[in-house]
Amino acid sequence: MPEGHEHVEEHEVPHLTDDEKHLAKLGYKQELNRSWSGFSNFAISFSIISILAGCFTNFGAGFNNGGPISISWSWPILGLFILIIGFTMSELVSAYPTSGGIYWWASKLGGPAAGFFTGWLNLIGLVAVTAGVSYGCATFIDLTISTYSESFAADYSLTRVFIIFVIVLALVSVLNIFSGHLMAIMNNVSVWWHVVGAAAIVVVLILVPDQHQSFSYVFTERFNNSGYADGSTTSVAFWFAIVPFGFLLTQYTITGFDASAHLSEETGAASTAAAKGIWRSILYSVLGGYVLLLCVVFAIPDTADGQPDNALAGLGVQPIFLEALGKNWATFVLFISASAQFFCATSCMTSASRMTFAFSRDGAIPGSKTLQKLTASRVPANAVVMVGVASAVLSLPALIEVDVNGTPVPLAFYAVTSIAVIGLYLAFAIPIWLRWRHGDKFDVGSWNNGAKYKWMNPIAVAEILIVSVYLMMPTTPAANPFRDEFEWKFVNYAPIVTLGALLLLVIWWNVSAKKWFTGPKHTIDEAVVEAFGD
């Protein structure tokens, strides 16, 4: 019997539930508390996607790089591609419903090296998305109070926002440490907060403004505030460089749905429930987010001469809400969004800590013995703390002040969100590609794509690679080292972190890790594994 395996007598085997039998086939004993329903599993991915978070915090990224068309057309097109990615991942989680999720799939299909790099990309992405959502939540808490109180707004600083950000991180960490079952309840509440809250905002944006923009403006107007191509909106560069810079809005918002996989060991009927949790959370978020964003664009106010105030809209959603709705309604809308973002940050922490627990369980992270420990309530508290600290450290560059029209703007926030997208989606791409390579030899689960994987998987991988390249580009001339106006404070440090991390991982793998990392380890007696098949 391999060292460290817990012995399980043969007469105990028949008492395992179907979920525990499936987990046993994958080599794991049931350690986490399987108290999540299928709805709760869907809820965590829906909460992390959070249309009330990504749609609002990255609105400017889409609007300034293409104008209204960058939202009215890019969102549904990219949303369709992301749904295809979701279908390919649903098939994988149905076959392998483990907390390790993405990296476990890669290890199973491509060996230890594939698992090692996938796991680290996934972990980097999960830490970054926790940091990005928590910082966005802090920003909207600050905006909510500032919109209502002029005196509070007058003392705005990036330091104040960062302090709120640290408080948010601390709160979501404490909530996650308290109880895994509490997180399931919070995510159930979060779904209804997002549904009812988004519906309320849509109604407000339709009824309260004195005027709305035309359909022609929303679906055909375009402009270029990137600083590139001399402001052109007709050149090849506009369509194939500037507009894609705005892809961050959609790709960042519709991410984190791998949470359904990471929580699969805590979900009943996981091979079906987790699969549905992934693609349903994407579909409903794409539809709901599109309606929400269109309402925001329609609500953009006019200037004194009757033209759409594009300059105001380019500053983000708060100025639109304040000008179009007035102080009280704007505060109400921002409060709904800030609260939703807190739910989202809590869910991100849950997902990231479960991934940390699973990766540590297989010895891939320094300090694994500490990070895989569970509390009496079966929660990976040490992993929660690690994710919180790492999120704060990653976001430190957001303290660097960059003036845009006299206002300090944390451009580093967009880099953090780019890191989240690049890390998560590249991690998704590896097992999706490997599953395609396995073809019909792949042992599908109860939910699968049938023969459609043959075209779905290559499309999914291509979309991920193309968007990842765009998100690593300097999105403003001042961030381009080959331009005269270059300054380091404007640099998009997403490629520095992601490519730098990959380089370190390559060195670590070849010097050390390949000698001891053999992929997922069994934590259950081999007799149990053999009893239910290989």
Residue 373 structure tokens: 């420990």
Instruction: Give mean pLDDT, residues 432-461.
Output: 95
Q: Of residues 478 and 286, which shows the higher confidence score? A: 286
The tokens describing 6, both together, are 């817990």
At residue 1, the pLDDT reads 39
Q: For 241-283, give the secondary structure using H, E and C.
A: HHHHHCHHHHHHHCCCCCHHHHCHHHECCHHHHHHHHHHHHHH
Reply yes or no on whether the pLDDT at 337 is more than 80. yes
Between 219 and 476, the more confident residue is 219
Query: What average pLDDT does the structure give for the chain?
Result: 86
pLDDT at 7: 47
* pLDDT at site 167: 97
Q: Hey, what amino acid is at 473? A: M
Which pLDDT band, with edges at 50, 70 and 90, does 32 fall under?
low
523 pLDDT band (50/70/90 cuts)? low
Q: How far apart are CA 20 and CA 37, in angstroms?
A: 15
The yes-or-no verdict on residue 392 having pLDDT over 90 is yes
DSSP assigned state of 26: T
Going 387 to 389 to 390 to 392, the CA torsion angle's sign is positive
Q: What is the mean pLDDT of residues 309-327?
A: 91
Phi/psi for 395 (5° steps) reads -90, 0
Higher-confidence position of 160 and 229: 160
How many other CB atoms are found less than 10 A from the CB of residue 304?
6
pLDDT at residue 226, rounded to an integer = 84
> CA-to-CA distance for 428 and 87, rounded, in angstroms?
12
Find out whether 295 and 206 touch, Cβ atoms under 8 Å: yes
Per the document, the length of the chain is 534
Residues 98, 258 contacting (CB under 8 angstroms)? no
CA distance 241 to 255: 22
Q: Is the predicted pLDDT of residue 13 greater than 60, yes or no?
A: no
Helix residue ranges, H only, 58-156: 59-64, 69-72, 74-95, 102-110, 112-148, 150-154
Question: What's the pLDDT score for residue 16?
Answer: 65
Q: Is the pLDDT of residue 8 over 50?
A: no
| CB-CB contact of 274 with 97 (8 Å) | yes
pLDDT given at position 22: 65
User: What residue type is 392 in one-letter code?
Assistant: A
Residue 262 has pLDDT above 90, yes or no: no
Does residue 100 have a pLDDT over 90? no
**Residue type at 277?**
G
Q: For residue range 138-167, list pLDDT tens digits in order.
A: 999 999 999 999 889 888 888 999 999 999
Stretch 218-242: mean pLDDT, rounded? 89
Interval 197-216: pLDDT, tens: 999 999 999 999 999 999 99
Classify residue 239 by its DSSP letter: I
- Residue 161 and residue 213: Cα distance in Å, rounded? 33
pLDDT above 90: percentage of residues in the chain: 46
pTM: 0.87
266 within 8 A of 374, measured Cβ to Cβ: no
**Torsion sign, CA atoms 476, 480, 483, 486:** positive
Three-state DSSP at 394 gives helix
Q: What backbone phi and psi angles, to 5 degrees, belong to 66?
A: 130, -25
Query: Which CATH architecture does the domain made up of 37-521 adopt?
Result: Up-down Bundle (1.20)
DSSP code string of 164-209: HHHHHHHHHHHHHHH-HHHHHHHHHHHHHHHHHHHHHHHHHHHHSS
Domain edges within the chain: 37-521
- Angle between helix axes 412-438 and 453-471 (nearest 10 degrees) is 160
The whole-number pLDDT of residue 185 equals 78
